[in-house]
């Protein structure tokens, strides 16, 4: 691929990214009501290759969230019964308490598999 075409793809991708940024605010609350707010941005953007094939990218940023044990954090979390919907341009809040240390996957069910242009996954690390 020529350098100019690569630059064009990067610029198009960046512009698509900027137009599709969504903000999700996570409230992490401890037992003593101290609040830790974590902002997670979900993004999706698309571009086209020289041969006309469409490329789509989906991601959470940051892709990993560190949460102290005993704190709360929202999102659909694998291995729990917690789920929620993130809508473009809207804020979604879901509360959950982590009593065990570990790594919990946040999974976007709309982009869970390769066939769905995924996986779109982020991680919550409970220390």
**Where are the domains positioned within the chain?**
24-42+58-126
The dihedral over CA atoms of 67, 69, 74, 77, expressed in degrees to the nearest 10, equals 100
pLDDT category at 50 given cuts 50, 70, 90 is confident
Residue 25 has pLDDT above 70, yes or no: no
Show the DSSP H helices in the chain as ranges.
3-20
What's the length of the chain? 127
What's the mean per-residue pLDDT of the chain? Answer: 65
pTM: 0.47
Whose structure tokens read 């704190």? 71
User: What are the counts of helices (DSSP H) followed by strands (DSSP E) for the chain?
Assistant: 1, 6
Class of domain 24-42+58-126: mainly beta
What are 112's two structure tokens?
Answer: 């869970």
9 pLDDT exceeds 80? Answer: no
């Amino acid at each position: 691929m020529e350098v100019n075409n690569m630059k064009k793809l990067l610029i198009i991708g960046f512009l698509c990214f900027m137009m599709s940024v969504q903000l999700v605010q996570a409230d992490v609350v401890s037992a003593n009501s101290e609040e830790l707010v974590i902002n997670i941005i979900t993004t999706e953007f698309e571009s086209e290759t020289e041969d006309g094939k469409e490329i789509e990218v989906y991601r959470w940023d940051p892709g990993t969230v560190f949460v102290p044990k005993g704190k709360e954090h929202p999102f659909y979390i694998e291995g729990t019964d917690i789920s929620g919907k993130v809508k473009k341009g809207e804020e979604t809040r879901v509360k959950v308490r982590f009593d065990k240390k570990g790594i919990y996957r946040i999974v976007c069910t709309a982009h869970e598999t390769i066939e769905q242009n995924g996986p779109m996954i982020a991680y919550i690390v409970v220390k």
